Amino acid sequence: MQESDIEINVKGWVRTKRGSKNVAFIALNDGSTIHNLQLVVDLEKIPESALAHIHTGAALSVDGVLVPSAGSGQKVEMSVNRIEVLGTAHPDEYPLQPKKHSLEFLREKAHLRFRTNTFGAITRLRHAMTFAVHKFFNDKGFYNIHSPIITGSDAEGAGEMFHVTTMKLDAIPKTAEGRIDFKQDFFGKEANLTVSGQLEAELAALALSKVYTFGPTFRAENSNTSRHLAEFWMIEPEVAFFDINDDMDLAEEMLKYLINYALEHCADDLAFLSKRQEEEEKTKKAEERSMELIEKLKFVLDQPFERITYTEAIDILRDSKQNKKGKFQYPIDAWGADLQSEHERYLVEKHFKKPVILTDYPRDIKAFYMKQNDDGKTVRAMDVLFPGIGEIIGGSQREEVYDKLLSRIKEMDIPMESMWWYLETRKFGTVPHAGFGLGFERLMLFLTGMGNIRDVIPFPRTPFNLEF
Ligand code: ATP
Ligand code: MN
């Protein structure tokens, strides 16, 4: 038997159908690759009436033989023997037509947008990156920790957390003083969705040495930007015996590993996304256009990231033409200001022209757990800034000295009762340690060249947006 005689079965969804008198061509896709399989239907073998219900979006099961393709678009195509319509899609009703739809339109069709080239590519890339994250850490001897999603500690993000309750919202029990009586709630105390798995990861790192979490994270910040979600995924390694320099080395190594993994394993999808981005860029002014996607990924791989202190960054920003001409929305005049995305991107895209790691931020704009420097002003924080994104990673060496941590907790008015367990780790076998958080969707923005974070997670949660 010749190889080409072997009949195979394929199943998938119709992207397009076109035809002539004697032959019909159907492009079928099952989501496994950006490339469609071309089905060639000989209308002498299969009557045209059998194809009447085949339109864009229909699901088919097809038996046939793979043959070298006469056309230029593909190496092989399928010569069809039998065709079964598993599910129809009425052309007047099916929202996805074989033409370019806007990303805004597709967000409203999130239940169907997986079926487009763009979202197929993003979904496969997202999967590959999830796998690569676990592989990276596993190969380095890290243990994956499942940190809790519901938390009783309100330490990190007062005001930014989603409440979790089973109390009836129209009859919330009150105490004698008129406050909400959480004793009557499910957990007997106030509960929230977590903003970070870090504190729990620290507990594990102080026993297993090298750990990481990779889970959903929730922030009720009402920032309607293209880089913020209310529900996003965060990767948080935490390592005992690490200082801030080890932490930066790990962050840089991980980002480069992931980018390289994407280049090696997702070439077809990246090539498609690159073309997509190029089309998009044509609508922008020349000076606002970004680098070609794959070139940009390789560029980041080849560069050692620039490492400078916050203080040095402030000097650069204050003296910049941009600042002097009043072109920053938030002008930089004094040391101590929190950096906005526009400042981060200036440093990366205009000044250094490569990723930048900023260290030693003012302690007043950073979290209580960060290790205090001897200057009494700064902490051993490190943020990784990326082109087109701004902050992609936020991390630090942690304060491991009990008394210093305690005084910081008191200074910042953090409710101590909920933090006793965290403090205890500084009493029993405390060691220097460090870690960071990588926002998975920020990484996906960078890798895909997409402009809006709502398009790199299947079902984005943002203010007033909870349809799917
Ligand atoms: P930003 O200043 O950009 O809001 P952040 O300082 O609040 O970030 P961290 O608390 O340090 O961020 O969180 C660690 C990482 O998680 C960030 O570097 C970023 O990649 C990601 N991240 C933070 N907030 C969000 C969000 N709302 N949506 C998506 N990713 C986020
Ligand atoms: Mn934030």
Which of 337, 336, 413, 338 shows the shortest CA–CA distance to 368?
Answer: 413
Read off the pLDDT of residues 98-147 as tens digits, 9 standing for 90 and up: 889 999 999 999 999 999 999 999 999 999 999 999 999 999 999 999 99
Atom of ligand 1 nearest to the CA of 390: 3
- Of all protein residues, the one whose alpha carbon is nearest to atom 19 of ligand 1 is 439
CA–CA distances in Å: residue 392 to residues 100, 251, 359, 437: 30, 10, 14, 8
Which of 219, 155, 152, 215 shows the shortest CA–CA distance to 186?
Answer: 152
* 442 touches ligand 1 (CB under 6 Å): yes
Tell me how far the alpha carbon of residue 231 is from its chain's centroid: 10
- Of all protein residues, the one whose alpha carbon is nearest to atom 27 of ligand 1 is 228
Q: What is the CATH number of domain 8-99?
A: 2.40.50.140
Atom of ligand 1 nearest to the CA of 229: 28
Return the ∠ at Cα 131 (arms to 130 and 133), rounded to 5°. Answer: 65
8 Å CB contact between 300 and 252: no
8 Å CB contact between 364 and 394: no
pLDDT of residue 1: 44
Q: Long-range contacts for 339-342 (Cβ within 8 Å, ≥24 apart)? A: 339/310, 339/313, 341/225, 341/227, 341/390, 341/391
* 229 touches ligand 1 (CB under 6 Å): yes
pLDDT of residue 123: 98
228 CA to middle of ligand 1, Å? 7
- Of all protein residues, the one whose alpha carbon is nearest to atom 25 of ligand 1 is 228
- Of all protein residues, the one whose alpha carbon is nearest to atom 16 of ligand 1 is 439
Q: Which ligand is nearest to the CA of 195?
A: 1
Element holding 405 (H helix, E strand): helix 402-411
163 CA to middle of ligand 1, Å? 19
User: Residue 274 in 3-state DSSP?
Assistant: helix
- Of all protein residues, the one whose alpha carbon is nearest to atom 18 of ligand 1 is 393
Atom of ligand 1 nearest to the CA of 230: 27
3-state helix, strand and coil shares in percent for the chain, rounded to the nearest 5: 35, 25, 40
Our mutation pick for probing the ligand 1 site, out of 391, 436, 447, 461, counting the most ligand atoms within 8 A of Cβ, is: 391
- Range(s) for CATH 2.40.50.140 in the chain? 8-99
Q: What is the DSSP string of 98-150?
A: SSPPPHHHHHHTTTTGGGSHHHHHHHHHHHHHHHHHHHHHHHTT-EE----SE
What's the CA gap between 35 and 369, in Å, rounded? 49
Residues (pLDDT < 70) of the chain are: 1-4, 154-159
What's the CA gap between 96 and 113, in Å, rounded? 8
- Residue 229 has which token pair? 């979600």
- Range(s) for CATH 3.30.930.10 in the chain? 115-160+195-455
8 Å CB contact between 158 and 195: no
The highest-level CATH class for domain 115-160+195-455 is alpha beta
Residues 6 or more apart from 18 whose CB is under 8 A from it? 24, 25
User: Residue 378 in 3-state DSSP?
Assistant: strand
Read off the pLDDT of residues 217-245 as tens digits, 9 standing for 90 and up: 999 988 889 999 999 999 999 999 999 99
* 454 touches ligand 1 (CB under 6 Å): no
- Of all protein residues, the one whose alpha carbon is nearest to atom 8 of ligand 1 is 391
Question: Could you tell me the end-to-end alpha-carbon distance of the chain, in angstroms, rounded to an integer?
Answer: 50
pLDDT of residue 287: 76
pLDDT of residue 155: 60
**φ and ψ at residue 444, rounded to 5 degrees:** -65, -35
Tell me how far the alpha carbon of residue 79 is from its chain's centroid: 41
Q: Which ligand is nearest to the CA of 460?
A: 1
User: Residue 243 in 3-state DSSP?
Assistant: coil
8 Å CB contact between 24 and 43: yes
In sequence order, what E strands does 202-310 have?
A: 210-218, 231-240, 306-309
Q: Which ligand is nearest to the CA of 441?
A: 1
Whether pTM exceeds 0.85:
yes
- Of all protein residues, the one whose alpha carbon is nearest to atom 21 of ligand 1 is 439
